[in-house]
């Protein structure tokens, strides 16, 4: 019994010390005493004061404690995680808010003269807010991981984990929503999960596009199908321009007329589209255009005509190529003006300073004859991918080709309403200095 008597004072002192920790200070009791007469006014004043206190503590932790500590290097996990990433992804903001909620929760226990029901409700609201901030912190940490992982040399592209972060964010917030509702209503989360299973079919119908976009976002980002800044073209969707945003639900494409096409993300998975990123990365933009030769002007050339053409720039190499091409054919075959022109076009493109050589394809070929003429197709790559520069180079090249056609006795196809050959004189070669030599100098340029 003596032992028991000695323990009682010790236990009593421990209890008293624990109570003293959560006893409200006298100044706080004096400050709130005028409002105790009206429970509603008291609750409003206390609630507003708590919100103001939460905001002030958040600012204090964020700008006085957390950011200075981050700047001092204590938060630098490695050289891959600078402070700017912590600020940009707002991880520090979530940490400071979480600390603020913890302080407010402790301060709530110090308030004097408050009804137990009010204390219980306030505790549940603070807990619910804490759950939301924790969920937000998890999501922002996921975004931080995405930024850090995308910076690795083996990855080297932004948003490498964006799809997984988007799906994870959706699941984290759904879980947080269930926990918040269960905390506010003071019910077990299992109660809401069983009810959620009963309406899952309805939810699948209501959120069908969202769910499809979530998994499509994973495919698009992890497969690196589309990035912000890519030029894409989606046939039938009025989308032909640069991607300005790839979010969880939609993809925004700014067309060249400055309109913005907004498409569900799953459109990029369900339908085919063209991404021109490879063209920009390769540094060459393709020319694929045909000249329609009037088939009535195609004929063989005599040796005298070939000698006259040989004096023109680049023609010596074109003539050699044409002679080699017909060397293995039937004996007696003579070079044709269309064949010689085709060789000249190829030689001209090979000598052009703005046309790519190997490993890019350079091809000049005949396509199947049509009622509108014989297509001579030019297939090559310009070394400038900018739209305006590319079009200017392409136009200059074809201006030259059209201008030298008469030197080979060729014409482009024109409908009979526009062009009717009156005499065979129009089929003769025109290699006069006024007609050809002036443009031939441009071939060397």
Write out pLDDT tens, residues 85-111.
777 788 878 887 888 888 777 777 766
pLDDT at 292: 95
Q: Say if residue 50's pLDDT is above 90.
A: no
Reply yes or no on whether the pLDDT at 250 is more than 80. yes
Angle formed at CA 177 by CA 171 and CA 183, multiple of 5 degrees: 140
In this prediction, residue 276 carries a pLDDT of 92
Angle value at C-alpha 170, between 168 and 175, nearest 5 degrees:
95
Q: What are the residue ranges spanned by the domains of the chain? A: 21-198, 222-275, 283-416+423-443
294 pLDDT more than 50? yes
Mean per-residue pLDDT, 327-348: 83
Average pLDDT over residues 130-146: 88
Q: What is the pLDDT of residue 437?
A: 41
- Residue 91 CA to residue 141 CA, distance in Å, equals 6
Distant-in-sequence, close-in-space partners of 403: CB < 8 Å, separation ≥ 6: 439
pLDDT at 72 over 70: no
**CA distances to 30, 204, 273 from 221, in Å:** 59, 24, 15
Contact 174, 180 (CB under 8 A): no
CA atoms within 13 A on the CB side of 205: 3
Q: Determine which of 201-210, 223-232, 331-340 has the lowest per-residue pLDDT on average.
A: 201-210
Q: How far apart are CA 242 and CA 391, in angstroms?
A: 19
**Binning pLDDT at 50, 70 and 90, where does residue 307 land?**
confident
Q: How do residues 420-437 score in pLDDT, each as one tens digit?
A: 555 655 556 666 645 444
Tell me the mean pLDDT in the region 151-166. Answer: 71
Q: What pLDDT shows up at residue 9?
A: 47
pLDDT of residue 70: 60
CA angle 104, 108, 112 (to 5 degrees): 150
pLDDT of residue 85: 74
Question: In whole angstroms, what is the distance from residue 411 CA to residue 413 CA?
Answer: 6
Cis before residue 359, ω within 30 degrees of 0? Answer: yes
What does the pLDDT look like over 272-284, one tens digit per residue?
A: 899 999 898 888 9
CA dihedral 226, 229, 231, 236 (to 10 degrees): 60
The CATH class of the 222-275 domain is mainly beta
Question: Which of 6-15, 317-326, 431-440 has the largest mean confidence?
Answer: 317-326
Chain-wide mean pLDDT for the chain? 77
Please give the order of strands across the beta sheet that includes 374-382.
285-293, 374-382, 363-366
| Residue 148: C-alpha distances to residues 158, 201, 245, 268, 437 (Å) | 9, 38, 20, 26, 62
Comparing 9-23, 241-255, 317-331, 338-352, the range with the smallest average pLDDT is: 9-23
Contact 255, 237 (CB under 8 A): no
pLDDT above 70: residue 37: no
Backbone φ and ψ for 344, nearest 5 degrees, come out as: -65, -40
Higher pLDDT, 81 or 150: 150
Q: Give the three-class secondary structure for 269.
A: helix
- Res. 209: pLDDT tops 80: no
The mean pLDDT value for 265-290 works out to 90
List Cα–Cα distances, 424 to 251, 293, 360, 414, in angstroms: 60, 16, 41, 16
Q: Is the pLDDT of residue 410 over 80?
A: yes
Q: How far are the Cα atoms of 134, 173, 204 from residue 177, in angstroms, in the given order? A: 12, 6, 18
Where do runs of H (alpha helix) occur along 22-90?
26-32, 39-60, 67-71, 83-88
**Six-digit token pair at 92?**
């520090």
What 3-state DSSP class applies to 39?
helix
Residue 30 in this model has a pLDDT that exceeds 60? no
For 309-322, the DSSP string reads HTTSTTHHHHHHHH
pLDDT over 70, % of the chain = 70
């Amino acid at each position: 019994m003596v032992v028991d008597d000695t323990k009682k004072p010790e236990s009593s002192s421990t209890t008293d010390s624990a109570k003293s920790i959560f006893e409200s200070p006298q100044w706080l009791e004096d400050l709130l005493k005028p409002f105790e007469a009206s429970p509603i006014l008291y609750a409003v004043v206390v609630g507003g004061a708590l919100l103001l206190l939460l905001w002030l503590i958040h600012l204090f932790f964020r700008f006085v404690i957390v950011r200075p500590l981050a700047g001092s290097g204590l938060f630098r996990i490695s050289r891959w995680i600078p402070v700017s990433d912590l600020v940009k992804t707002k991880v520090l903001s979530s940490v400071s808010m979480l600390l603020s909620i913890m302080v407010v929760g402790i301060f709530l226990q110090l308030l004097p003269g408050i009804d137990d029901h009010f204390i219980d409700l306030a505790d549940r609201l603070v807990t619910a807010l804490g759950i939301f901030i924790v969920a937000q912190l998890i999501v922002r940490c996921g975004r931080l991981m995405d930024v850090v992982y995308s910076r690795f040399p083996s990855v080297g592209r932004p948003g490498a984990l964006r799809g997984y972060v988007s799906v994870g964010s959706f699941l984290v917030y759904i879980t947080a929503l269930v926990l918040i509702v269960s905390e506010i209503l003071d019910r077990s989360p299992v109660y809401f999960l069983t009810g959620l299973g009963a309406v899952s079919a309805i939810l699948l119908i209501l959120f069908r596009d969202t769910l499809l976009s979530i998994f499509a976002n994973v495919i698009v980002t992890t497969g690196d199908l589309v990035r912000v800044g890519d030029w894409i073209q989606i046939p039938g969707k009025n989308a032909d321009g640069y991607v300005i945003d790839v979010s969880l639900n939609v993809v925004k494409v700014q067309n060249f007329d400055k309109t913005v096409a907004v498409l569900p993300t799953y459109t990029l998975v369900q339908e085919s589209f063209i991404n021109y990123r490879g063209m920009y990365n390769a540094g060459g933009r393709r020319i694929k255009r045909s000249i329609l030769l009037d088939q009535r002007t195609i004929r063989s050339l005599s040796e005298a005509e070939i000698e006259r053409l040989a004096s023109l720039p680049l023609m010596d190499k074109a003539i050699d190529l044409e002679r080699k091409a017909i060397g293995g054919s039937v004996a007696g075959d003579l070079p044709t003006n269309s064949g010689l022109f085709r060789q000249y076009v190829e030689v001209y493109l090979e000598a052009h300073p703005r046309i790519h050589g190997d490993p890019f394809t350079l091809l000049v070929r005949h396509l199947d004859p049509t009622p509108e003429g014989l297509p001579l197709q030019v297939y090559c790559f310009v070394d400038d991918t900018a739209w305006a520069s590319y079009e200017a180079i392409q136009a200059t090249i074809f201006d030259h080709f059209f201008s030298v056609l008469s030197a080979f006795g060729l014409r482009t196809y024109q409908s009979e309403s526009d062009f009717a050959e009156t005499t065979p004189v129009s089929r003769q070669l025109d290699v006069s200095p006024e007609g050809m030599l002036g443009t031939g100098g441009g071939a060397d340029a």
